[in-house]
């Protein structure tokens, strides 16, 4: 489990495909890699991956075809940058919101409004049904970053990126038509699904 507070930015150093598995090698800071162990999970652009090897300041992960299919890793290339976060511990403060590292959809950036020290991103989910779990002022995870939904339209939503988030994450590098990983808030999803199920049961018994 994660909080959506990015701790480091990694750089893709190599991508190898063999035996139906992708090997991803990510270079990060020595400070971030300190005390990490093989078998632990790390959030990579919001996608929970298991460490399979550690060498100096390089972390490597396995990605199966299903992970590639449902995330922006299908478009990743050597030299790209990735948001990294270690899993939260029992006594750690919850700085953002509860993030599982299970990407629910990918989205495309349709518009960017730039200000002097901040920006607004408009994002359109690939699956329009994701909008059922997106509410104004609710929480959402974009490329591993915990954000608050600012506005919601029929098929897209906006998020505000403050100066600190721009400085600490890869969202400062995003352009129109770039893709991002989306994880809608798990509590919102569960609440909406529960209400829908109760409503359908009431209709059934009428």
Q: Dump pLDDT digits (tens) for 88-117.
A: 877 777 777 899 999 999 999 999 999 989
Across all residues in the chain, what is the average pLDDT?
A: 93
- Could you tell me where in the chain the CATH 2.40.30.20 domains are found? 8-85, 105-193
Higher-confidence residue: 140 or 201?
A: 140
Is the separation of the CB atoms in 53 and 60 below 8 Å?
yes
pLDDT grade, residue 135 (50/70/90)?
very high
Residues with Cβ within 8 Å of 9's Cβ and at least 6 positions away in sequence, in order, are: 28, 81, 82, 83, 84, 168, 169, 170
Predicted local distance difference test score (pLDDT) of residue 89: 78
Predicted local distance difference test score (pLDDT) of residue 198: 82
- CA angle 108–121–191, rounded 5-degree value: 75
pLDDT grade, residue 197 (50/70/90)?
confident
Q: What's the whole-model pTM score?
A: 0.92
pLDDT grade, residue 188 (50/70/90)?
very high
Residue 142 has pLDDT above 70, yes or no: yes
State phi, psi for 126 to the nearest 5 degrees. Answer: -65, -40
CA atoms within 13 A of residue 192's CA, in its CB half-sphere: 14
Given the structure tokens 């909008």, which residue do they identify?
131
How many other β-carbons are positioned within 10 Å of the β-carbon of residue 78?
Answer: 11
Over residues 150-166, mean pLDDT: 96
Is the separation of the CB atoms in 155 and 90 below 8 Å?
no
Helix (H) or strand (E) holding 100: none
Q: What's the CATH number for 105-193?
A: 2.40.30.20
Residue 205 has pLDDT above 60, yes or no: no
What kind of architecture, by CATH, is found in domain 8-85?
Beta Barrel (2.40)
d(CA 169, CA 181): 14
- Output the six-digit token pair for 6: 């990015």
pLDDT grade, residue 203 (50/70/90)?
low
User: Percent of the chain having pLDDT more than 70?
Assistant: 97
Predicted local distance difference test score (pLDDT) of residue 204: 56
Residue 120 has pLDDT above 60, yes or no: yes
- Output the six-digit token pair for 67: 């992970």
pLDDT digits (tens, 9 = 90+) for 8-54: 999 999 999 987 899 999 999 999 999 999 999 999 999 999 999 99
d(CA 172, CA 116): 12
């Amino acid at each position: 489990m994660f909080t959506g507070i990015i701790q480091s930015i990694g750089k893709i150093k190599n991508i190898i495909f063999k035996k139906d598995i992708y090997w991803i090698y990510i270079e990060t800071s020595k400070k971030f890699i300190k005390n990490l162990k093989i078998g632990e999970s790390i959030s990579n652009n919001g996608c929970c991956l298991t460490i399979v090897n550690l060498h100096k300041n390089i972390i490597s992960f396995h990605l199966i075809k299903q992970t590639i299919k449902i995330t922006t890793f299908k478009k990743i290339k050597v030299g790209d940058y990735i948001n990294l976060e270690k899993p939260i511990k029992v006594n750690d403060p919850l700085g953002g919101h509860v993030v599982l590292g299970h990407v629910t959809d990918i989205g495309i950036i349709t518009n960017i409004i730039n200000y002097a020290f901040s920006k607004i991103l408009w994002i359109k989910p690939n699956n329009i049904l994701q909008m059922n779990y997106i509410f104004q002022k609710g929480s959402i995870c974009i490329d591993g970053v915990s954000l608050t939904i600012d506005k919601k339209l029929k098929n897209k939503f906006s998020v505000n990126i403050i100066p600190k988030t721009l400085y600490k994450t890869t969202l400062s590098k995003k352009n129109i038509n770039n893709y991002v990983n989306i994880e809608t808030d798990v509590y919102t999803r569960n609440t909406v699904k529960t209400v829908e199920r109760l409503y359908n049961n009431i209709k059934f018994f009428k």
